Amino acid sequence: MDNDEKTSGFSRNSNYFKGAAAPCFLRENIMLKVGDKAPEFSLVADSGEKISLKDYRGKKVVLYFYPKDMTSGCTQEACDFRDNIKKIEKKNAVVIGVSPDDTKSHNKFKDKYELPFTLLSDETKTMLNDYGVWQEKSMYGRKYMGVVRTTFIIDEKGKIEKIYEKVKVPGHIDEILQQL
């Protein structure tokens, strides 16, 4: 907990944020919320080229953060986006997936599951931190840092339109399609 969290009484993991009507995330002690300008990024994509948020001005961006390539939940989420990509594109939107995996892993993942959208590699976790999705997690009593499965819908002007936190994969694609 940093000094601001101590004085405010709120931390990223406090009960204050759990179940909030409008999910929010701390970013350098700033809470990301619906209506905020989405943090800019420039990362290497699976294609090897650098991709930035500004490259997508004029389109909606479904920006989803996931823990790891080739794992069951992440594979199902990616395949749900793949299976609905035409519906998403008809709504003037693109899908971008982000994880800390390297581009080699992303390429294997894309090839194996024929994913038709961009995957960004954030090995330094800069973007993950900027969007507040690199958080302390717990499994079987062990605490560790990891990606909390989260989706941001960013509008055509680069503002956050919707935040889905702690995403449960079954039914998530339906929420996205309805929001778009």
Catalytic residues: 74
Q: How far apart are CA 154 and CA 39, in angstroms?
A: 10
